[in-house]
Amino acid sequence: MQRPRCCSTSAIRSAGAFVEVSGHVVVIGAGVIGLCTALHCAQRGWRVTIVERQPQQRDGCSFGNTGMIVPSHFVPLAAPGVISQGLEWMRDPGSPFYVKPRASWDLIDWGLKFWRASNAGHVRRAAAVLRDLSLASREMYESLAGPDNDFGLARRGVLVLCKTSRALDDEAEVAKQASALGLCADVLDAAAAAALDPGLRMDVAGAVHFPQDCNLVPERLIAGLQSRLLAQGVSFAWNTSVVGWRLDGERILAVKLNAEAEIQADAFVLAASAWSSALARRLGLKIPMQAGKGYSLTLTQPRQSPMLCAVLAEARVAVSPMGSALRFGGTMEIDGLDESVNPIRVRSIVDAVTRYYPDFAPADFEGVRPWRGLRPCSPDGLPYVGRTSRFANLAVATGHAMLGISLGPITGQLIAQILSGERPELDLTLLSPDRFH
């Protein structure tokens, strides 16, 4: 089997173009991370096959989210104060962050690692990495949108709305950290916040405006990526689950689909979202992750629609205008790979909307079908991006939690650079898939 040819970084720089390789790469997972990875690999000359356990018409984590691209989200999920806040929220199954108690060693192990990572030093180290990833991805979305902008990229920023003065003080501290990182952030009183979005009545103490944030329509993004990939000759294996691997020492030869079927390739990318941990275990790799279930509700004809995206600070609910529609999404529920809908969690989103936007009422959401998706959450709040040390031809791209859309393009480019022998343009040390071994 022919291996891909690799060129040196200096040759890449002098040529000013992609490295041309020959070889076959299998990408496991057709979410936004897998699709972006396939796109960048195909652009470099790889023959690409995407293996997806769901059918083409699906509604996974990359579809019903709020479509935000958020350089403002530089604080990882594992941060000081999250543990104590989480323990308080544990008493309320409708809280923004809820861990459903269950007998699971994986959950206990994940929780201990989360606790160890929830410190100020980790936040300082992670913040610059998340900032750089988000800004790079935002720039790539600008190019991807082009003049047609078929996935509705909107560049108006995000308002973090605060009901209380205490929350506004907390968010003002985040704004200071953002400014120290070179990001734009403005702290506003209630009147100034209202002036930025005059067509919408808000009941808030104030807000922080992050003008570099933007949003898109995720369903249209996914459809557009799939069309681009098909046009470039990428193959899709829908309704196809990977059940194992065929190995030759420290090299993967094929993914097994059942007792007899397999797909051979030169390189493999594990981008199977919340299902990645189980597939990694079959290789003897430890990639700890929990599925964080989130929900969204989309009003196709809202009574009012904001011009800007918003985050309802205390409720942890995101608000995203998408053309004539308006989507509300939020909550983080750690409950294994359970894809059922918990009506208590959905109701908490509706209650939050009516508290911040008094012109909305629960009746506006009657008959609206809730969407749910499982976000892949690492214990330190950082994604896994990079090559494993055990298998030379395996790269991992998962664990992005709520930042899958936000970090999709840059993750795909970094993985393609690694597989093609290029030097990654960003330091991936903190994102190593081996960091918990």
Q: What is the 3-state secondary structure (H, E, C) of 111-175?
A: HHHHHHHCCHHHHHHHHHHHHHHHHHHHHHHHHHHCCCCCCCCECCCEEEEECCHHHHHHHHHHH
**259: its two tokens:** 């007792």
134 within domain boundaries: no
pLDDT digits (tens, 9 = 90+) for 221-275: 999 999 999 999 999 999 999 999 999 999 999 999 977 899 999 999 999 999 9
**DSSP-derived 3-state class of residue 176:** helix
Final residue before a domain boundary, out of 377, 392, 411 = 377
**Is 90 exceeded by the pLDDT of residue 433?**
yes
- Domain assignment present for 189: yes
State which H helix or E strand residue 229 sits in: helix 218-231
My answer on whether 167 and 232 are in the same domain is no
Secondary structure element (H or E) that encloses residue 348, with its range: helix 343-356
Range of the domain at 313: 72-128+152-214+289-377
Judge if 413 and 320 occupy the same domain. no
Query: Is residue 160 domain-resident?
Result: yes
405 with 219: CB under 8 angstroms?
no
pLDDT digit string (tens) for 182-227? Answer: 999 999 999 999 999 998 999 999 999 999 999 999 999 999 999 9
What value does the mean pLDDT of the chain take?
Answer: 92
Beta strands in 349-422 (DSSP E): 371-377, 384-387, 394-398
- The reply to whether 163 and 224 lie within a common domain is no
CA 133 vs CA 43, 246, 260, 385: distances in Å: 20, 33, 40, 11
Based on the fold, state whether residues 107 and 175 are members of the same structural domain: yes
**Are residue 298 and residue 423 in the same domain, yes or no?**
no
- Do residues 313 and 357 share a domain? yes
Query: Rg of the chain's alpha carbons, rounded to an integer?
Result: 21
Query: 217-240 in b/e burial notation, b at 16+ Cβ within 10 A?
Result: bbbbbbebbbebbeeeebebbeeb
Residue 99 lies in a domain: yes
Three-state SS for 115-132 is: HHHCCHHHHHHHHHHHHH
**Does any domain span residue 2?**
no
The predicted-structure confidence for 346-387, as pLDDT tens digits, reads as follows 999 999 999 999 999 999 999 999 999 999 999 999 999 999
Residue 119, C-beta contacts closer than 8 angstroms, at least 6 positions apart: 80
Residues 371, 389, single domain; the answer is no
Query: Which residues, 6+ apart, have CB-to-CB distance to 99 below 8 Å?
Result: 86, 90, 107, 111, 334
Same domain flag for 327 and 371? yes
- Total count of domains within the chain: 2
The residue out of 347, 362, 377 marking a domain boundary is: 377
> DSSP letters along 55-115, please?
-SS---TTTSS--EE-TT--S-SS-TTHHHHHHHHTT-TTSSEEE-----HHHHHHHHHHH
Q: How far apart are CA 282 and CA 342, in angstroms?
A: 31
Residue 137 has pLDDT above 70, yes or no: yes
**Phi/psi of residue 268, nearest 5 degrees:** -140, 145
Residue 142 lies in a domain: no
pLDDT tens digits along 35-88: 999 999 999 999 999 999 999 999 889 999 999 999 999 999 888 887 777 777
Confidence of residue 21 (pLDDT cuts 50, 70, 90): low
Examine residue 262 and state whether it is found in any structural domain, yes or no. Answer: yes
Tell me the two tokens of residue 316: 């942890």
Does residue 323 fall inside a structural domain? yes
Per-residue pLDDT band for 22 (boundaries 50, 70, 90) equals low
Question: Pick from 357, 377, 397: which residue ends a domain?
Answer: 377
Asked if pLDDT for residue 4 goes beyond 80, the answer is: no
CATH number, position 423: 3.50.50.60
Please tell me which residue, 5 or 94, carries the higher pLDDT value: 94
Is this prediction's pTM over 0.85? yes
> What pLDDT, on the 0 to 100 scale, is given for residue 378?
97
Query: Any idea of the CA torsion for 20, 23, 29, 30, to the nearest 10 degrees?
Result: 50
Q: Same domain for 224 and 267?
A: yes
* pLDDT for residue 120: 94
296 and 282 in one domain? no
Q: Are residues 156 and 205 in the same domain?
A: yes
Two structure tokens written together for 141:
């979305």
At 287-302, the pLDDT tens digits run 999 999 999 999 999 9
Indicate whether 240 and 313 sit together in one domain.
Answer: no
Dist CA 142 CA 149 (whole Å): 9
CA distance 61 to 242: 19
Residue 76 belongs to a domain with what CATH number? 3.30.9.10
